[in-house]
Chains A and B, each alone.
Chain A
Amino acid sequence: MPKDMTEPAFWVLTALAETPRHGYAVLGRVEELTGGQSPLRVTTLYATLERLERDGRVRVVSEEVVAGRARRTYDITTDGREALSLEADRLVARASAAQASLDRGRPAPTRTTGWATA
């Protein structure tokens, strides 16, 4: 299990896996992906992007000034894709195990007899 994949890092990488985005677009995409349950604040997002950049999982592709605001656009790296892929596999395996367990423990349908229902 990739122990260093925090929930904010997972969502940031997921948002960037589709296309390069600037910070606020990442925030918006994570909001959509999580159905409004985003674990990110602006501060958390920035700290996460900074750590991911330092670890070589994302990179800055451009810096520009838009409407008077400085914007930095990020893209996921090959290392970032690999880490996200590993994490996705791990989550799928966990979900499958949970589903299989639920299926095995599902109570048998109630048996009805002709006599009882007649």
Chain B
Amino acid sequence: MSPRAGRDPQRLLRWYPRGWRARHGQVLLGLLDEQVQDTGRELSWADAWSLRAHGAAQRFSPATGVLLALAGAAAAVAGLTVLAVSLADPAATVGAAEVVWTVLLTGVATSLASLAAVALVRDLIPITAPGAVLAAAAATAAWAAATAAALSWSVGFDQADADVPLSGFAAAFPALLVAGVGLGTVALTPVTAVLLRGISSTPGRWLLAVAGALLGSVVLGAAALAPGACLLAAVGVLVGCALRRSPHRRAPTTASRGPASRKATAEASQ
């Protein structure tokens, strides 16, 4: 019986990184195959989505975090350079193009640093795979909304200065700001919920988790406005990811991974 579209374990395994598939792919496929045979049912829709989420989350490793944080730091430096160059000439004023480039580069930098932070958080605390994927997606969307909000405010400021009516984009500033804070809250909630897992009351834990995430979202958004804050954050995450990917932590716990421990048993025929 061939699996239904979207539920083929072999295809779903491609959501995992290549290196992970090489080390664990056959064992995971064996587990899934055993389950299908044992229960007589193909993978459920939920199983398929769980595989996608775990595969996508697996891509957020400290090694990937280093690359993302490096790219984030580079974008932050580029943003600061544009700002510094435009401010270097005391007679010149900062033009619209410089503002747009600085804001866009800062937005890219914060997004990349946040994705790197997800990789670090995944390594540090037992956040679920769907939680990590949600955090990554929502953080990216939050910074996109925050970037749009910053540009919207800038356009609105110029229009008010020129005494012209606000454009639709400029008028959208409050909505974009709320969207940014809301998405930031969504991104941080899976993390705060894990940090507060010692609280036994489930409603209390989630209430505090959302409140903490909301506060964190506002604080991070405000901090991103400070020149250099994004660069500092990217470097901090970079150092964290670099420390967490040190090879001594990944040493095999047993010599069993070697060929000597692999046994092709005769059970295949049983």
Residues of A within 8 A of B (CB): 1, 3-4, 6, 9, 23-24, 27, 41-47, 50-51, 53-54, 56, 58-72, 77, 94
Known: A43-B50, A60-B257, A71-B27. A65 touches B126 (CB 8 A): no
CB of B129 closer than 8 Å to a CB of A: yes
Assuming A42-B31, A66-B268, A67-B270, what are 11 further A-B pairs, CB within 8 angstroms? A6-B126, A9-B126, A41-B47, A42-B28, A43-B53, A44-B54, A47-B54, A47-B129, A58-B253, A63-B256, A70-B26
User: In the bound complex, do residue A72 and residue B254 qualify as a contact, i.e. CB atoms below 8 Å apart?
Assistant: no
User: In the bound complex, do residue B31 and residue A46 qualify as a contact, i.e. CB atoms below 8 Å apart?
Assistant: yes
Point out the residues of chain A lying under 8 angstroms from B198, CB to CB. 1, 3
With the chains together, A38 CA to B233 CA distance in Å? 40
CB of B262 closer than 8 Å to a CB of A: yes
CB of B220 closer than 8 Å to a CB of A: no
User: In the bound complex, do residue B261 and residue A54 qualify as a contact, i.e. CB atoms below 8 Å apart?
Assistant: no
Residue of B nearest to A1 (CB): B198
Point out the residues of chain B lying under 8 angstroms from A77, CB to CB. 253
Point out the residues of chain A lying under 8 angstroms from B265, CB to CB. 64-66
User: In the bound complex, do residue A64 and residue B263 qualify as a contact, i.e. CB atoms below 8 Å apart?
Assistant: yes
User: In the bound complex, do residue A62 and residue B27 qualify as a contact, i.e. CB atoms below 8 Å apart?
Assistant: no
User: In the bound complex, do residue B34 and residue A51 qualify as a contact, i.e. CB atoms below 8 Å apart?
Assistant: no
Residues of B within 8 A of A (CB): 24, 26-35, 38, 46-47, 50-51, 53-54, 125-126, 128-129, 197-198, 200, 249-250, 252-254, 256-257, 261-265, 267-268, 270
User: In the bound complex, do residue B253 and residue A56 qualify as a contact, i.e. CB atoms below 8 Å apart?
Assistant: yes
- The SS class assigned to the A binding surface is mixed
A54 to nearest B CB, angstroms? Answer: 7
Residue of B nearest to A44 (CB): B50
Of the candidates A3, A9, A24, A50, the one whose C-beta lies within 8 Å of that of B31 is A24
B17 to nearest A CB, angstroms? Answer: 13
Point out the residues of chain B lying under 8 angstroms from A3, CB to CB. 197-198
With the chains together, A100 CA to B199 CA distance in Å? 20
Known: A43-B47, A46-B28, A70-B29. A64 touches B264 (CB 8 A): yes
Which of B30, B47, B198, B261 counts the most chain A CB atoms within 10 A? B30
Point out the residues of chain B lying under 8 angstroms from A66, CB to CB. 265, 267-268
Of the candidates A50, A51, A68, the one whose C-beta lies within 8 Å of that of B268 is A68
With the chains together, A21 CA to B125 CA distance in Å? 26
B68 to nearest A CB, angstroms? Answer: 21
